[in-house]
Structure 1
Amino acid sequence: MAALGKLLRNRRAGEAGLAWHAPNLTGPETLRVTSPDFEHEATMPSAHAGKRSGGRNTSPALTWTGTPAGTAQLLLVVEDPDVPLPRPFVHGVFLLDAALTDVARGALDQDGATPGVRVLRSGKGRGYLGADPIRGHGPHRYAFQLFALAGPITAVRGGADPAAAKPRAVLDAAGGVLARGRIDGRYENP
């Protein structure tokens, strides 16, 4: 697999494809998102990697400040813009109660048992998918993007429930961004 990673080393989806750059998700960058598990742009601990990469597939703890008055819901999107695909890979989409100011380690995992956290689909399955870059492809960024929405996402295109919808359909249904913030972690499989 390392040989494949080296062959694809220069192929990356790119920053421009992230939810962060979607026209319907633009807004003031006034949310401050942090994690006790890693610093912005630093390497994430292996516990937050996928099992195939030696991790436990456990979502990191996140905290944030600056949620504006009038926020109806928070949308959290985790994407890898360094995957060798046409678009960033979605590692998780979550709808959070507006009153939350943090999520504990493991709160974004597929069981969805955390109060105030609605676990939606990811690019493959449901819930948080840990970092799992192709061996030899180089470091990958994992963008944890948080959006404060003026209105909740209750349905997506065609009236479908967000829990049954593909991640991109949920992102397309979002709008009215009052604030946003982001923290990026890095991970590499040598």
Structure 2
Amino acid sequence: MITRRDFIVTTAATASSPLAVHAANERDVRLPLKAQPRVRTLFTKPTGDGRLLLFSDGSESPSKLIKPEALERAFGPGTELVLQQPDHWRMIEEGWFAEDDLYEPTEFEDPAFRIWHANYRPETEAHDLLYDLFRDQITGPFGARIPDVGLELGEHPSTPRYATAKLDGDWCLPHLRAEVAERTSWLVIDDGNAFGEAER
């Protein structure tokens, strides 16, 4: 039978043990923020041949990222390998890192610059969002036509990656808007041509 004194002594000894100190420190460790899913909006702009190019509400140029050494200092080695660029943007928006901890990828040789082009450039992002949404109607890996909505998805032979989603004309917008709304609530086609407002 354990007495009150034995309990206090045992508890104090356990609390001061290296394992207990480590466990207490672990509770204070901050984990990197992951980007939360959010509703994405697609806009259109004319291409010059009567068609419309779709683009997302993402940034027109690569947004700032957190330097690898700042991530390592905050979360430990290898953290940058498990984060995506939107994770960086969320932590920056939350004010977790100072300006000195950030950099803007601008060099073609920078892998982060290529990753942005391949995934987050507004035109490419619009392509990927629609490609995923209409995957049930796509048979080839490099392009597709969805005739019911006048949509053409295309991968262009370029480095870094560039992919586009185009509509046959503005008369296709109501059909695309209705079809997208029927399939998901996470993607919205803007009601009007936002080219002038967004100055793209």
Q: TM-score, normalised by structure 1?
A: 0.21
Question: Greater share of helix residues, 1 or 2?
Answer: 2
Point out which structure has higher relative CO (alpha carbons under 8 A, 6+ apart). Answer: 1
Flag the structure with higher strand content. 1
